[in-house]
Amino acid sequence: MIKSAPSVYGGEKMQKEQLIQIRRDLHQIPEIGFQEVKTQQYLLNILNQFPSERLEIKTWRTGIFALVKGTNPKKTIGYRADIDGLPITEETGYDFQSTHPGYMHACGHDFHMTIALGILSHFIENPIEDHVLFLFQPAEEGPGGAEPMLNSEIAMQWKPDIITALHIAPELPVGTIATKPGLLFANTSELFIDLKGKGGHAAYPHNTNDMVVAACSLVTQLQSIVARNVDPLDSAVITIGKITGGTVQNIIAENARLEGTIRTLSVESMEKVKERIEALVKGLEIGYSCQAVIDYGAMYHQVYNEEALTAEFMEYTAEQTDFDVQLCTEAMTGEDFGYMVSQIPGFMFWLGVGSPYGLHHAKLTPNEKAIEVAVEVMAKYITFKSEQK
């Protein structure tokens, strides 16, 4: 059942209480990439309450483009909000926790969507000269919705001249805005390695090729790549987060699978890491008489903030608001928004939400006061950008 949207439009921008209710509604219906059917409908139920003469809405797969029309447009300012959840069983104790067992908004995308709606509401009631395009993007957590969404016919028609986005930061207090010109988030790639050997009876290992042993050996070898093949002045991470293999305790495993992630601060290091993975896997095939298949899954571009635009945003926000604007360091976090800023000048920033638990944690509890902070910051900055000649 799709949750009904509250009445939000009464001839003025949405109020704090309405935004909090929307966030809580969205929090209850997390859906994974390209399955955000209830989420899309809920957002459409909200958007369709606004005056149609000011707002044009187009759907794309499970995502939405929403164009707030300017009074005398010279450019289009884009704002992206991701909409998918994660396959995590929630442990927050909220009375509005997820109604989808095994799924949770554990990365703050319920906040991201709510903030976007708050900003949109502001510009419905406070028209500016330029268009403001809101992209409610599916599949940020995977398999990656930014590239196909931005390459769609709708995006080609409404392509923004600049684009912005935010991500909640649990470790920062409410009222904090943190970002930096240049590299903000890492290049990331998924990693899946399937091994196939020869199974058999546990009492006769000499007649088999054991893929549990092969998998364990490979994990150890993979850790040597960062230590011995990446420039110490650069940064890279290879994490194997999941290993599966075998069927029962007294049968030697014929198959094993490694699942992990690669993160680097440079494109060159990503290429080098993948070359070394492939070389080690080839050696493993010889050494353990097995077959191996590598799949890199989804790969996300680094988030590289356009330097002048980001510096301008930081200076403006520090001068025109009472919030704490901080220069942060780059992180090994991955973000699908990286593809968008590889095609369009733009930036992303961290929004402090003061949670004792971090991103992708089952107990993530961001402070809802941060919603107002983000709406104010972006409403002011987008207005400022439109007034620039």
Q: What is the pLDDT of residue 315?
A: 98
* Same domain, yes or no: 162 and 40: yes
pLDDT in tens, the chain (389 residues): 456 677 666 656 679 999 999 999 999 999 999 999 999 999 999 999 999 999 999 999 999 999 999 999 999 999 999 999 999 999 999 999 999 999 999 999 999 999 999 999 999 999 999 999 999 999 999 999 999 999 999 999 999 999 999 999 999 999 999 999 999 999 999 999 999 999 999 999 999 999 999 999 999 999 999 999 998 888 999 999 999 999 999 999 999 999 999 999 998 999 999 999 999 999 999 999 999 999 999 899 999 999 999 999 999 999 999 999 999 999 999 999 999 999 999 999 999 999 999 999 999 999 999 999 999 999 999 999 999 97
1 in a structural domain: no
Residue 236 lies in a domain: yes
**Are residue 319 and residue 174 in the same domain, yes or no?**
yes
On whether residue 6 sits in a domain, the answer given is no
Whether residue 310 sits in one domain with residue 282:
no
Structural domain range at position 232: 188-299
Three-state DSSP state, 133? strand
The catalytic residues are 82, 141
Residue 312: exposure state from Cβ atoms within 10 A (0-12, 13-18, ≥19): middle
Residue 106 placed within a domain: yes
Please give the C-alpha separations between residue 5 and each of 2, 84, 338, in angstroms, as whole numbers: 9, 18, 31
> What pLDDT, on a 0 to 100 scale, did the predictor assign at position 116?
98
Indicate the residue among 299, 332, 356 that finishes a domain: 299
Q: Is residue 3 part of a domain?
A: no
Strands 131-137 and 76-82: parallel
On whether both 120 and 197 belong to a single domain, the answer is no
CATH number at residue 259: 3.30.70.360
248 and 327 housed in the same domain: no
Same domain, 140 and 244: no
Shared domain check, 192 and 170: no
Torsion of CA 202, 207, 211, 216, to 10 degrees: 80
pLDDT at residue number 23: 98
Q: How far is it, in rounded angstroms, from Cα 15 to Cα 9? A: 10
Shared domain for 51 and 142, answered yes or no, is yes
Q: Looking at 299, 326, 346, which one is the last position of a domain?
A: 299
**Spatial contact of 122 and 13, defined as CB atoms under 8 Å apart:** yes
Same domain, 230 and 355: no
Strands of 55-60's sheet in order across: 55-60, 63-68, 131-137, 76-82, 162-169, 346-352, 176-179, 324-327
Distance CA 55, CA 181 (A): 32
**Residue 102 falls within a domain, yes or no?**
yes
In a domain, 333, yes or no: yes
The total number of structural domains that make up the chain: 2
Q: Which of 247, 275, 299 is the last residue of a domain?
A: 299
Residue 292 shares a structural domain with residue 164: no
| Same domain for 176 and 70 | yes
Q: Is 213 part of any domain?
A: yes
Task: Assign residue 80 the CATH number of its domain.
Answer: 3.40.630.10
Q: Are residues 280 and 379 in the same domain?
A: no
